[in-house]
Chain A
Amino acid sequence: MRNFLIRGVAAGAIALLSLTACSQRSEEGTTSAGTTEAAKGFPADSLIGVALPAKTSENWVLAGDLFTDGLKEAGFQSDVQYAGSSTTVADQQSQIQAMVTKGAKVIVIGATDAAQLSTQVEAAKAAGASVIAYDRLIKNTQGVDFYVAYDNFKVGQLQGQALLDGMKAKKPEGPYTIELFSGSSDDNNSAVFFDGAMSVLKPQIDNGTLVVGSGQTDIKQTAIDAWKPENAQRRMDSLLTSTYTSKTLDGVLSPNDTLARAILTSIKGAGKPLPIVTGQDSEVESIKSIMAGEQYSTINKDTRNLVKQTIQMVKDLQAGKQPEINDTKSYDNGVKVVPSYLLEPQIVTKDNAAEAYANDPNLAPLTK
Chain B
Amino acid sequence: MSRVKELQKSLFGGTTSNARQFGMIFTLVAIVLLFEILTNGLTLNPGNLISLVSQYSYILILAIGMLMVIVAGHIDLSVGSIAAFVGIVVAKVMQDYSLPWFVAILVGLAVGALIGAWQGFWVAYVGVPAFIVTLAGMMLFRGGNQFIGNANTIPVPEGFRVIGAGFLPEIGPDTGYNNPTLLLGLVACVAIVIREWRGRRTRREMGADVAPMWISVIRVAVPLVVVVFATLQFAGGRVGTSFPVSGIILAVLVVIYSFITRNTAGGRHIYAVGGNARAAELSGVKLKRVNFMVMMNMSILAALAGMIFVARSAASGPQDGIGWELDAIAAVFIGGAAVSGGLGTISGSIVGGLVMAVLNNGLQLLGVGSDRVQIIKGLVLLLAVAFDVYNKKQGRFSVIESLMRPFRRDTPAPASPAEAEQERGKSPVAG
Residues on A facing B (Cβ under 8 Å): 1, 4-5, 8-9, 11-13, 15-16, 19-21, 23-30, 54-55, 79-91, 93-95, 97-98, 100-102, 112-119, 123, 126-127, 139-141, 184-186, 220, 223, 225-226, 334
Contact = CB atoms under 8 A, between A and B. Distances in A.
A226 B45 CA distance: 35
Contacts of B155: 115, 139-140, 334
B189 A116 contact: no
The 8 tightest CB contacts between A and B, nearest first, are: A23-B176, A12-B189, A8-B193, A116-B313, A84-B370, A115-B153, A98-B364, A118-B314
20 contacts: A1-B200, A1-B201, A12-B193, A15-B224, A19-B232, A20-B235, A23-B232, A25-B237, A26-B238, A79-B367, A83-B370, A89-B313, A97-B51, A113-B153, A115-B315, A118-B314, A119-B165, A119-B313, A185-B318, A226-B318
A4 B216 contact: yes
B48 interface: yes
Nearest to B39: A102
A117 B313 contact: yes
Interface string B307-340: 0010011110111101110010000000000000
B269 interface: no
A76 to B, nearest CB: 13
B6 to A, nearest CB: 19
B interface majority secondary structure: helix
B361 A98 contact: yes
Contacts of A11: 221, 224
Given A16-B231, A20-B175, A186-B151, A90 B238 contact: no
Interface residues of B, number: 71
B369 A81 contact: yes
A336 to B, nearest CB: 14
A334 B315 CA distance: 13
A15 B228 contact: yes
A119 B311 CA distance: 9
A116 to B, nearest CB: 4
Given A16-B232, A87-B323, A89-B319, A82 B369 contact: yes
Interface of B: 39, 42, 45, 47-48, 51, 55, 146, 150-155, 161, 164-165, 175-177, 182, 185-186, 189-190, 192-194, 196-197, 200-201, 213, 216, 220-221, 224-225, 227-228, 231-232, 235-240, 309, 312-315, 317-320, 322-324, 327, 360-361, 364-365, 367, 369-371, 373-374
Contact of B312 (A19, A112, A115, A119): A119
A274 B422 CA distance: 72
B317 A113 contact: yes
A226 B134 CA distance: 24
Nearest to B183: A16
Contacts of A112: 319
Nearest to B153: A115
A116 B153 contact: yes
A12 B51 contact: no
A9 B317 contact: no
B412 to A, nearest CB: 29
Contacts of B374: 84
A127 B200 contact: no
Contacts of B313: 89, 93, 113, 115-119
B150 A220 contact: yes
Nearest to A10: B193
A4 to B, nearest CB: 6
B208 to A, nearest CB: 16
Given A113-B317, A116-B313, A186 B152 contact: yes
A8 B220 contact: yes
Contact of B194 (A5, A114, A126, A140): A5
A118 B314 CA distance: 6
A12 B201 CA distance: 21
A117 B314 CA distance: 7
A325 B289 CA distance: 64
Contact of B153 (A13, A15, A100, A186): A186
A185 B88 CA distance: 15
Contacts of B360: 94
Contacts of A220: 150-151
